[in-house]
């Protein structure tokens, strides 16, 4: 299954900063479950805590109470670049010229190897294998009279995907790459500001969505107010379309649009393209649910929860080892025999990556007595890896890169298989098609990775 990326929350200013960041991170837990961290400051002292595991495991009430401060940043992580080493937990905090500097990053740089080699030649010593540390090294070496100028010079050396939060002694700075691959939103909270990967982080803390950090923009939050700068000479939107299909929470607004409505339209378009008939439409929980609803309503076939998810284990794809993933899927989803038995089931899945977990699900539906199982997928076949922060497996492991639809149907043990077309997917989007990255479906990359990118990414 697909591994997630990371979630960011920042805050300027609020007396309850640690509590608010904690709740914000909790809302973004779906974006990363391996580790989390919070750094806050009251302008004189820095307080930080981070660790491996879920937000609720890393932070106790006493720890949150001990984190005094009125501004700060937080991060939840799934390891993309850098592996799951504890040293790679973010935010990444350093001291530079006697002052604190920390960074939280979502996305992958596509020129990280080149930059790292160059920096090491110049004498940099790295503590971690994260892209985020590269950015810190570049930042402290860059020309500029203040952090903002240095950051602009740094960002101009980066390629690929980065939504960033930077913590300084007296400010929080948000920045986004020139393609806007990953989301980053700004909200109002009391007299201050919150910045988060998705707006679902605002809802729990009572913040009001204001706007996105624009692609190619830096926004500085300090006692001087809010200042916006454009760092990129050329902006070409390439929002990750997979955020709408799968990653983002359906109650979020990302890229200024509702995830729920978009996912519903994906299901409607899938219904238009599918010729299958069945007795019931069954979502593969949870991310297939809204597309399944759209599909069911458009097809006028009853929607049934024919598979129940055990909510008390993590999302299987978050586990770093294949054997953990395989064990996870068996205990996570269970078909409801009384619902599926004797029925022609149309199952709705959000995506198929390797196909192994999907095959298990099809088998369990058949074991539960389904007469036939047809699968409709609310995105096109995934044929290429992602270089922008989503940890798809290598091209060879992507089932659709080596098998056609008929062969995949056979492999999965299905009676029918239908994918949404690229046009159907783009038509469901709430923004023009040219605003999106679709590289994992089309192989057309908006930013080419540097040499050896894949080797570097997956060798750890």
In the complex, the smallest distance separating the C-beta of residue 233 from ligand SF4, rounded to whole angstroms, is 22
Q: Specify the residue, 12 or 388, whose C-beta has the smaller distance to ligand SF4.
A: 388
Stretch that binds ligand SF4, among 127-135, 250-258, 409-417, 432-440 (CB under 6 A): 432-440
Q: Name the residues annotated as catalytic.
A: 6
Instruction: Decide if residue 242 touches ligand SF4 (CB under 6 A).
Output: yes
> Which contacts (CB < 8 Å, 24+ apart) does range 81-85 have?
81/108, 81/109, 81/112, 81/129, 81/130, 81/131, 81/457, 82/128, 82/129, 82/130, 82/131, 82/460, 83/129, 83/460, 84/34, 84/35, 84/320, 85/128, 85/129
Beta bridge partners of residue 194, listed in sequence order: 11, 187
Stretch that binds ligand SF4, among 91-99, 271-279, 365-373, 437-445 (CB under 6 A): 437-445
The CA-atom distances, in angstroms, between 173 and each of 20, 101, 104, 217, 325 are 18, 11, 10, 10, 37
Q: Specify the residue, 340 or 439, whose C-beta has the smaller distance to ligand SF4.
A: 439
Q: Where are the beta strands (DSSP E) in 148-262?
A: 163-167, 171-176, 185-189, 192-196, 208-212, 217-222, 225-230, 239-240, 253-254, 257-258
User: Which one of residues 92, 162, 255, 388 is an interface residue with ligand SF4 (CB under 6 A)?
Assistant: 388
Backbone angles phi, psi at 364, to 5 degrees: -65, -35
Instruction: Decide if residue 439 touches ligand SF4 (CB under 6 A).
Output: yes
Q: Specify the residue, 193 or 242, whose C-beta has the smaller distance to ligand SF4.
A: 242
User: Which one of residues 14, 17, 438, 457 is an interface residue with ligand SF4 (CB under 6 A)?
Assistant: 438
Q: Specify the residue, 304 or 450, whose C-beta has the smaller distance to ligand SF4.
A: 450
User: Which one of residues 440, 447, 449, 450 is an interface residue with ligand SF4 (CB under 6 A)?
Assistant: 440
Instruction: Decide if residue 390 touches ligand SF4 (CB under 6 A).
Output: yes
User: In which residue are the tokens 């402290």 written?
Assistant: 140
Binding site as annotated, residues for [4Fe-4S] cluster: 240, 386, 437, 440
Stretch that binds ligand SF4, among 21-29, 201-209, 238-246, 351-359 (CB under 6 A): 238-246
Whether the CB-CB separation of 313 and 208 falls below 8 Å is answered with no
Instruction: Decide if residue 386 touches ligand SF4 (CB under 6 A).
Output: yes
In the complex, the smallest distance separating the C-beta of residue 5 from ligand SF4, rounded to whole angstroms, is 9
In the complex, the smallest distance separating the C-beta of residue 412 from ligand SF4, rounded to whole angstroms, is 22
The tokens for 98 are 């006697």
Q: Specify the residue, 241 or 301, whose C-beta has the smaller distance to ligand SF4.
A: 241
Query: Which residue in 276, 298, 399, 424 sits closest to 347, CA to CA?
Result: 276
Burial profile 87-113: b = 16 or more Cβ within 10 angstroms, e = fewer: ebbbbbbeeeeeebbbbbbbbbbbbbb
Question: How far is Cα 238 from Cα 230, in angstroms, rounded to an integer?
Answer: 17
Stretch that binds ligand SF4, among 228-236, 330-338, 357-365, 383-391 (CB under 6 A): 383-391
Instruction: Decide if residue 181 touches ligand SF4 (CB under 6 A).
Output: yes
Instruction: Decide if residue 437 touches ligand SF4 (CB under 6 A).
Output: yes
Radius of gyration for the alpha carbons in the chain, expressed in angstroms and rounded: 22
Q: Specify the residue, 74 or 381, whose C-beta has the smaller distance to ligand SF4.
A: 381
Instruction: Decide if residue 244 touches ligand SF4 (CB under 6 A).
Output: no
The tokens for 56 are 């609720």
Which chain residues interact with ligand SF4 by CB under 6 A?
A: 181, 240-242, 386, 388, 390, 437-440
């Amino acid at each position: 299954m697909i591994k997630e990326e990371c979630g960011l929350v920042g805050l300027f200013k609020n007396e309850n900063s640690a509590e608010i960041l904690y709740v914000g991170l909790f809302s973004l837990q779906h974006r990363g479950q391996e580790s989390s961290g919070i750094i806050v400051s009251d302008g004189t002292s820095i307080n930080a805590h981070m660790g491996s595991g879920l937000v609720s495991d890393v932070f106790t009430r006493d720890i949150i109470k001990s984190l005094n401060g009125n501004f700060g940043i937080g991060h939840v992580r799934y390891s993309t670049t850098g592996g799951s080493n504890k040293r790679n937990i973010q935010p990444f905090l350093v001291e530079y010229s006697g002052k604190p500097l920390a960074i939280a990053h979502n996305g992958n740089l596509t020129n990280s190897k080149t930059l790292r080699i160059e920096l090491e030649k110049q004498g940099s010593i790295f503590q971690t294998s994260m892209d985020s540390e590269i950015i810190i090294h570049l930042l402290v070496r860059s020309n500029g009279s203040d952090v903002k100028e240095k950051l602009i010079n740094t960002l101009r050396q980066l390629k690929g995907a980065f939504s960033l939060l930077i913590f300084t002694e007296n400010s929080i700075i948000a920045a986004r790459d020139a393609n806007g691959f990953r989301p980053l939103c700004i909200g109002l909270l009391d007299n201050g500001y919150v910045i988060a990967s998705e707006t679902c982080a605002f809802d729990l803390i009572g913040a009001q969505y204001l706007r996105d950090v624009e692609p190619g923009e830096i926004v500085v939050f300090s006692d001087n107010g809010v200042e916006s700068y454009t760092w990129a000479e050329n902006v070409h939107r390439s929002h990750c379309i997979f955020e709408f299909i799968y990653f983002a929470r359906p109650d979020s607004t990302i890229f200024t649009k509702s995830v729920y409505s978009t996912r519903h339209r994906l299901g409607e378009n899938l219904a238009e393209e599918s010729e299958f008939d069945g007795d019931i439409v069954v979502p593969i929980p949870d991310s297939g649910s809204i597309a399944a609803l759209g599909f069911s309503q458009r097809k006028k076939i009853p929607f049934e929860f024919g598979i129940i998810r055990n909510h008390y284990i993590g999302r299987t794809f978050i586990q770093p080892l294949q054997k953990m993933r395989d064990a996870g899927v068996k205990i996570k989803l269970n078909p409801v025999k009384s619902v599926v038995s004797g029925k022609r089931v149309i199952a709705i899945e959000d995506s198929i990556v390797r196909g192994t977990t999907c095959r298990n699900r099809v088998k369990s539906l058949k074991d539960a007595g389904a007469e036939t199982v047809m699968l409709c997928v609310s995105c096109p076949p995934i044929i290429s890896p992602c270089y922008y922060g989503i940890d798809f497996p290598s091209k060879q492991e992507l089932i659709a890169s080596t098998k056609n639809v008929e062969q995949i149907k056979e492999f999965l043990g299905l009676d029918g298989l239908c994918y949404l077309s690229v046009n159907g997917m783009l038509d469901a989007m709430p923004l023009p098609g040219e605003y999106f990255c679709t590289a994992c479906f089309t192989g057309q990359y908006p930013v080419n990775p540097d040499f050896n990118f894949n080797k570097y990414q997956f060798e750890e």
